[in-house]
Chains A and B, each alone.
Chain A
Amino acid sequence: MAGEIQNPIIRVRDVTVQFGATRVLNGLDLDVKRGEILGFVGPSGAGKSVLTRTIIGLVPKLAGSIEVFGVDLDSSNTSQRRNVERRWGVLFQQGALFSSLTVRQNIQFPMREYLRVSQRLMDEITMAKLTMVGLKPEVAERFPSELSGGMIKRVALARALSLDPDLVFLDEPTSGLDPIGAGDFDELVRTLQRTLGLTVFMVTHDLDSLYTACDRIAVLGNGKIIAAGSIADMQASQHPWLRQYFHGKRARAVMG
């Protein structure tokens, strides 16, 4: 990797994850800079979601250390951990909205848990979040089963942002969206990153997202980061998979 990054928001060192006999991540190192949008790519099944889930703490790791906001999540106590969890937001691939709560209740759920604010302010902030993610206020009283795929992603993003986190994890945010919707979503992530000063960790397959939204790209292969850098670095790379990925038919189409 090109140089040590000073004071990273996420620092992953030598992480190994194994399911049964298959080793998914093998001594992986990764740094995420404060305030950047990091695009995380790699072949299907390479373990992109596994790394995300390992950082969040949903998948146990065999070895290695992970620091988020400078806190080592293994040695932290409950209150430190809660403090970290309060400062990040996660957008799951399928949205993972609570199906028995309305959109409004979904967005207010973390607020109720972590903050002591009046119902009026919560309602107003909910409307602000919905406006930010480009949804109409009428959506607030609907249930997740009454929303389209794109709307679910937007509501899930609004919920991930409900506590004004410093860091958001997006797991394939544009998958299943039409190209225009996906483009809007990239634009949205960019805008929110600017206005809220977010750091974004985005797992994606979408070349458009990489070109338009991401500041830096990390590539996963064989359980390690095989390359990290700007889009220009990626295009210049001689790694066979990267060459195919960034110079293939679809990549040429994106670059025009």
Chain B
Amino acid sequence: MNGDPKLERIAKGNALALCATGTWTASFAPVLERMVADAEKLAGTPQSIFIDVSEVAQLDTFGAWLIERLRRSLTQGAVEAQIAGLSANYSSLVDEVRRVKATPVIDTGTVTITGMLEQIGRTVAGIAGTVAGLVDMLGAVLAAAGRVLIHPRSFRLTSTVHHMEQVCWRAVPIIVLITFLIGCIIAQQGIFHFRRFGADIFVVDMLGVLVLREIGVLLVAIMVAGRSGSAYTAELGSMKMREEIDALRTMGFDPIEVLVLPRLLALVLALPILAFLGAMAALYGGGLVAWLYGGVEPEAFLLRLRDAISIDHFIVGIVKAPVMAAVIGIVACVEGLAVQGSAESLGQHTTASVVKGIFFVIVMDGVFAIFFASIGM
């Protein structure tokens, strides 16, 4: 009896019987749908129609629903369609399916000009919201820091040290490696192009100024935003999703004080250290390439470096580090706390955290460049 499903039309007197046979299950759904669609065209004929299901070998929800769908479309009009020959096994399934109300039409949303304009407007308003969110978080963090200064015992030293290990100590190898390689590349490119003017030695000036003022801190800040900013957002975001942050709040803890402040402090302390190590690694890499590739002896390199740069260059670079760290940390924490219930939202906010973090780091760098130029440093 098992086999391909069929729906045969048999005239019985002035009534029409639709005899369903074979397996009416999900695996045959495409065939079944076609047959049912064909049979639905019979709607409106004056004959009385009944659907005979006594020969159906197997029935599941898909088959039962398609028979029910057929019955409903044939019923429209004067004639009432009946289902006949239902075995006891399947009658409860058919009854269950009969309770299903007609499917509401799902609004998929069409693209309109006004809709697009509305979207643009919302995005622009969202940018203002982002800035407001950052300022809000900055205020909350400062308030929390103030409370901690008044009650130093509430400061979370263990947590801060733990995050220092995560964002500083464990970041050292990769930061040193990358900045070392960048130092090598800058020196190689400098020598290659300066050699044509016989100005090989000036590569030391370029390397020193570039690494100490800009590349060292900027590169490290971008890497930290990608490495630690994203981690902060993901941590806080998944805590938000599992209601851990609500739990903290109900126990009378301020999430800013417990979660954000130690992370932010760790980052503010870590970035200057990493920037310093990065700058040293880049200078070392540059010096190595200048020696091996450009024939600049280490003594000559160091002498030239001492002439070319002053402590100002170093200060200009290192002063930027904590500010950039604060920006990265605040952006990461704001995004983390903005995560909604879904995994997709966590992904979006982690992406946003890194993108916005890097963007604000570069904006800050520009602001610093203007400031230092105007005070003559």
Contacts and interface: CB of A to CB of B under 8 A. Distances in A.
Interface of A: 98-100, 104, 111, 115-118, 120-121, 123-125, 127-129, 131-132, 137, 140-141, 143-146, 161, 163-164, 191, 194-197
A146 B65 CA distance: 29
B375 to A, nearest CB: 50
Contacts of A115: 26-27, 29
A103 to B, nearest CB: 12
Contact of B99 (A123, A131, A161, A164): A131
**Interface bin, chain B:** 20 to 34
Contacts of A124: 65, 69, 100, 103
Contact of A117 (B29, B103, B345): B29
B61 interface: yes
Given A115-B27, A131-B99, A164-B26, 4 more contacts: A117-B33, A123-B106, A128-B65, A140-B106
A144 B92 CA distance: 30
Contacts of B363: none
A129 B61 contact: yes
B30 A116 contact: yes
Nearest to B343: A99
B25 interface: yes
B26 A117 contact: yes
A164 B28 CA distance: 13
B196 to A, nearest CB: 56
B96 interface: yes
Interface in B56-100: 60-62, 65-66, 69, 89, 92-93, 96-97, 99-100
B342 A144 contact: yes
Contacts of B27: 115
B109 to A, nearest CB: 11
Given A116-B30, A117-B30, A123-B106, A137 B92 contact: no
A127 B343 contact: no
A145 B342 contact: yes
A122 to B, nearest CB: 9
Contacts of A141: 106
A29 B27 CA distance: 33
B33 A121 contact: yes
A145 B237 CA distance: 14
Contacts of A123: 103, 106
Contacts of B66: 121
A132 B96 contact: yes
Nearest to B96: A195
Nearest to B90: A195
A191 to B, nearest CB: 8
Nearest to A100: B344
B101 interface: yes
A128 B61 contact: yes
Interface in B332-351: 340-345
Interface string B91-135: 011001101110110100000000000000000000000000000
A121 B29 contact: yes
A120 B103 CA distance: 9
B93 A195 contact: yes
Contacts of B342: 99-100, 143-145
Contacts of B69: 124
Contacts of B340: 145
A131 B102 CA distance: 11
Contact of A144 (B26, B100, B341): B341
A128 B101 CA distance: 8
24 contacts: A98-B343, A99-B341, A99-B344, A100-B342, A118-B33, A120-B103, A121-B65, A123-B106, A127-B101, A131-B96, A131-B100, A131-B101, A137-B103, A140-B106, A141-B106, A143-B341, A143-B342, A145-B340, A145-B341, A163-B26, A164-B25, A164-B26, A191-B92, A196-B60
A127 B100 contact: yes
Contact of B103 (A111, A127, A161, A191): A127
B106 A125 contact: no
Interface string B320-364: 000000000000000000001111110000000000000000000
B97 A128 contact: yes
A129 B169 CA distance: 54
A196 B104 contact: no
Given A131-B101, A132-B96, A195-B93, A125 B65 contact: yes
